[in-house]
Amino acid sequence: MILHDLIDYETLRIIWWVLLGVLLIAFATTDGFDLGVGTLLPFVAKNDTERRIAINTIGATWEGNQVWLILGGGAIFAAWPPLYAVSFSGFYLAMFAILFALILRPVGFKYRSKRDSARWRNGWDWALFVGGFVPSLIFGVAVGNVLQGVPFRFADDMRIFYEGSFFALLNPYALLCGLLSVAMLIMHGSAWLVLKATGPVADRARRFGSSAALAVIVLFALGGLYLWMGISGYRITSDISPVGPSNPLLKAVTLQGGGWLTNYGTYPWMIVAPILGFLGAAAAFIAMQARREVVTLLFSKLSITGIISTVGLSMFPFILPSSLDPKSSLTVWDASSSHQTLFIMLVVTVIFLPIIFAYTAWVYKVLWGKVDEKSVTDKNSHAY
């Protein structure tokens, strides 16, 4: 028996669909609070010392947190090649904007304190704001467009044609999802500042975080209502084999009003995901008001996990629907790499992913504790 036959093709496809979700959630719950702190920086800190406190709550860990984004991109490239080809080419300008914003972050960290000039530091502080706000918004906008369908198609020879434009991505529903993403990460960044910062920075973060948690509840509800009443979901109307070839053109797909909600009737247990999204945000709001620092962050993570899971479960088995040619839509069953490739990658993942988790946990344990004025003004400090 060939080794990769130990796990059948269908199971491997499901495992990699789940792993992709895990990597996206890991990125949102770790680097998400980095983006949230960057977005909040000009508003929770009123002077240079306070801004240094906010920056140093994430300064020691942001690089490690960004690893999850790289792992997610790598997983898409290796496990779902058509998804990588369509999304990274069709969303090229959006990806460029995200990368440009993310590049501002390390430069801002390294250069803002190189000169003792208020104007110089203020400029880099706004660069850090851009580095937090722009990715937060565009990631949500991208998800909103995926739920509506992306304008691409496959030719008979499997060449990909994308016929959309950057500004077409900025439609009302996508912007609603973008605002939800911003609110979600502001809530998360606030929870992190409440946990790690002290004094006025933590107090202001608590106020912003409370408002953001309420905004998450409202925007998440509006997004779901819009999916039910205003956006057609996709449904496979032909036979499709879970172990069939990776050829999206071998199926028939139709659009159905409220189609993205049908999975909850077929698999009632999936309702747990949106419930976690709502309850996590509500619990984070209550915990912020009660000044419960650790559980605030945990509830915020729970809300993010629920919201991201809701998107994936609602769309299953679709991973990238096509608004231009529905049968070209990519699904879990027809957009993956080969059986052998998925198996080899799984073996590598089983070995290295626990190491990454363990190392990350160790780093946070070592760096545990609050950032206060003394820690950033001490002349022997290595703080930013």
Those residues with Cβ within 8 angstroms of residue 381's Cβ, 6 or more apart along the chain or in another chain: 375
- Among 3-12, 121-130, 174-183, the minimum mean pLDDT is found in 3-12
The pLDDT of 189-200, averaged and rounded, is: 94
- Per-residue model confidence as pLDDT tens digits over 154-179: 998 888 888 888 888 899 999 999 99
Identity of residue 145: N
State residue 115's pLDDT score: 86
Would you give the end-to-end CA distance of the chain in angstroms? 57
Q: Is residue 276 part of a domain?
A: no
- Per-residue model confidence as pLDDT tens digits over 221-253: 999 999 888 888 999 999 998 998 999 999 999
User: Hey, is 253 helix, strand or coil?
Assistant: strand
Q: Is residue 77 part of a domain?
A: yes
Residues 320-345 as b or e (16 or more Cβ within 10 Å = b): bbbbebbbbbbbbbbbbbebebbbeb
Whether the per-residue pLDDT at 207 is higher than 80: the answer is yes
Q: What is the C-alpha radius of gyration for the chain, rounded to an integer number of angstroms?
A: 22
Q: Is residue 296 part of a domain?
A: no
Strand partners, 322: 150
- Encoded tokens for 292: 């419960």
Identity of residue 313: L
Sign of torsion, CA 142 146 150 156? positive
User: Domain of 46?
Assistant: 8-228+337-377
Residues 122-132 as b or e (16 or more Cβ within 10 Å = b): eebbebbbbbb
The pLDDT of 26-46, averaged and rounded, is: 93
Q: Is residue 218 part of a domain?
A: yes
Please tell me which residue, 46 or 382, carries the higher pLDDT value: 46
The pLDDT of 86-110, averaged and rounded, is: 88
Whether the per-residue pLDDT at 3 is higher than 80: the answer is no
State residue 202's pLDDT score: 94
State residue 380's pLDDT score: 60
Q: How many domains does the chain have?
A: 1
Neighbours of 167 (CB within 10 A): 8
Q: Is residue 36 part of a domain?
A: yes
* pTM exceeds cut of 0.85: yes
